[in-house]
Structure 1
Amino acid sequence: MTSSPEAGADQQLPPIIQDPESTVLEDVVVDGRRLDQAIDDFVADIVAPPVNRGPARWHRRVCVGAINFRTEVAQAIVDQVSNVAAEAGLEVGEPGCRANVLIIGTEDGSSLAAGLVDRAPRAFRPLYSGAARSREALDRFVSTDAPVRWWHVSLPVGREDGRPAVRMPLDERYPVIRGEGRLRTATRNDLIKVFIIVDVSAARGVDVRRLGDYVGMVALAQIDPEADPSSYDTVLNLFDAPEVQRGLTAWDRSYLQAFYGAELNARAANQQGGEVSSSMYRDLRDAPPTDDAEDGSTADPTP
């Protein structure tokens, strides 16, 4: 884990606030749908990988870094995102590791995003197949007024050797992928970088630990920023329901554990989603009702 904060009162997040009492997720019906149907819809709608690619995920290890926050805020965010990653089964880098999950605080998210993309466009859309979403999606990343915006970069690799499974810039030949089958693929899609920009002015009033949970969720999966999660019990509603500040829920944890526990080697992307749905359904069906509210006891990040 690593953090590289910069001092400055204008980069503050506000005091921690307490969670009100939360609503427990029904174990049979969600928003008028059967649990299995709600899970299928969530898994199908919530992730947006590059075109013609299955969902990407981190392979074994992440290193979380935060910059342009005060020291204690940066560390709180890094720690919480790292906790989410560890809970999903990933290894977390030690302090000083090279960050592949980069979280940046700013008072103007759009200006920062535009500047980063202008200076290093290939960092966001590398010149190989399956690296990132479309140019139009990148434009939306720059222009959105969301409190948190994110951009994933991934790399298709061989499942056995981890070598690039697509032709890279300057390569003369396409790679040979051995072990491909009619129903199963010998490749996987690895996340290699995610840029996450937190507009601190828009995020004021949000508990830092809940913010870390939200950032952890969008860091570990290619969450579609235009998806509507309002009918699900998920931390992704954090900024749409500020009066009910929820951290990572049982629904979120079940999704991440299912996502990182599935093989994801089916050739058809919808079959990969089916693996995640089935695992998530078994977990939520058999789990006792829980209250995801916590005491919000994170230290006050203000001076």
Structure 2
Amino acid sequence: MTALALAALLAVAPMQTPPPAPQDAPPQAATPAGDPVDLGEVEVTGQPLDAMIRDFVNEVAEPNRRRGLARWDDRICIGVANLRAEAAQYIIDRVSTVADDLGVIPGEPGCTPNVIIIASDDPTGLARELVEERRRAFRLGGAGMDRGGDALGAFVETDRPVRWWQVSMPTDSETGRPAIRLPGECMGECRMPEDAAPVVNVFSASRLSTQIVDYIFRTVVILDIDQVGGVSGQQLADYVAMVTLAQIDPEADTSGYASILNVFDDPGAAAGLTDWDHAYLQGLYNAERNRKNLRAGRTEIADSIHRAHDELRAGEEEAAE
């Protein structure tokens, strides 16, 4: 797939993208899902599990400015370019499987990609070309939809093995409509200022809660083929799944946790997504996210992650009996 074709995909407006049709979950990759983490060791370190979860959330989570943590709503379509067919399909299947486990519906073959994964031997040049030619695909101009111009510059110039950029939408959870004004979009004929404003019907919001939540609707991931060769196919696919399905801080220091996010610093750190990673994703996707206070919203997600940890441990104990 050429850079021009990729730019055409990026030009698709979020509100014009048809939802991909549901399908059965893609087959689970044959490789084991990763070495389980013995959560019992958490007690030995002297740091309570609650504190470790809060620290992990604060370290890895990177929401857009003044917004809560975003996640995908109910559909995802993955496109992979510049890899051999079997390698590309493996990544598509694996990321789709992780998404399906979280309740996000994978798209059928031929759907319009909203996750674009590109391998390149010149990732910085490719990122610069895409941003220069289709800048609005990376920054649509709506408040709270991306991490800002400085972060976009870092996306272009970083030398990391994997770089990613996400665009999200503040959304009215009651209606499913955008809760912000998008440049160039109007309700009606755009003759009056109010035609350009979003329509939000307030049903249950209060001083403590909100019905406005954030949903990811586009992710671009660029792989540096000269740097990703030191990890296995599953490690790479699971790393991509983690940074695609959640808003992960590229500068996060996760060395104190058993996480796939450490794999490029230590390829032996994890064979795939760990229990920490699964619990983080499950906690994010199970949380209601209805707290108006952003700090309280993180606490809600941390509590949800703790419940996911408890469920994972209970499942391990049941399997051991």
The TM-score, its normalising length taken from structure 2, stands at: 0.81
Name the one with the larger helix percent.
Answer: 2
1:200 deviates by 1.0
Equivalent in 175, 190, 196 of residue 198 of structure 2: 175
Q: How does 1:1-303 map to 2 (within 5 A)?
A: 24-27=37-40, 28-29=42-43, 32-170=46-184, 171=186, 172-173=193-194, 174-179=197-202, 180-285=205-310, 287=313
Higher relative CO (Cα under 8 Å, sequence separation at least 6) belongs to: 1
Q: CA 1:257/1:5 → structure 2, altered by over 3 Å: closer, same or farther? A: farther
Equivalent-residue separation in structure 2 for 1:164 and 1:89 (angstroms): 21
Gaps of 5+ in 2: 4-30, 187-192, 317-321
Q: CA deviation at 1:83?
A: 1.0
Distance 2:114 2:210 in 1: 26
Tell me the alpha carbon deviations over residues 219-264 of structure 1, each in whole angstroms, 9 at most, x when there is no partner. Answer: 0111000111111111111101023442001111111111001100
- Residue deviations 1:30-58, cap 9 Å, x none? 85521110001111221111111101111
Shift of the 30–40 alpha-carbon distance from structure 1 to 2, 3 Å rule, reads farther
Contact residue 177 and residue 186 of structure 1 kept, 8 A: no
CA deviation after TM superposition for structure 1 residue 283, in Å: 3.0
Q: 2:119 & 2:45 partners in 1: Cα distance?
A: 35
Name the % identity: 43
The change in CA–CA distance for 1:163 and 1:211 in structure 2 (over 3 A counts) is: same
Corresponding letter in the other structure for 1:66: V
CA contact (8 A) 2:283 2:306 kept: no
Aligned equivalents of 2:245, 2:44: Cα separation in 1: 24
Q: Is the 8 A contact 1:148 1:196 kept in 2?
A: yes
Q: In 1, Cα distance between the equivalents of 2:207 and 2:288?
A: 16
CA distance in 2 between counterparts of 1:118 and 1:188 reads: 30
RMSD of aligned residue pairs (Cα, Å): 2.3
Kept in 2: contact 1:151–1:195 (CA 8 A): yes
Q: Would you say how many aligned residue pairs link Structure 1 and Structure 2? A: 276
Structure 1: 5+ residue stretches without partners: 7-17, 291-303
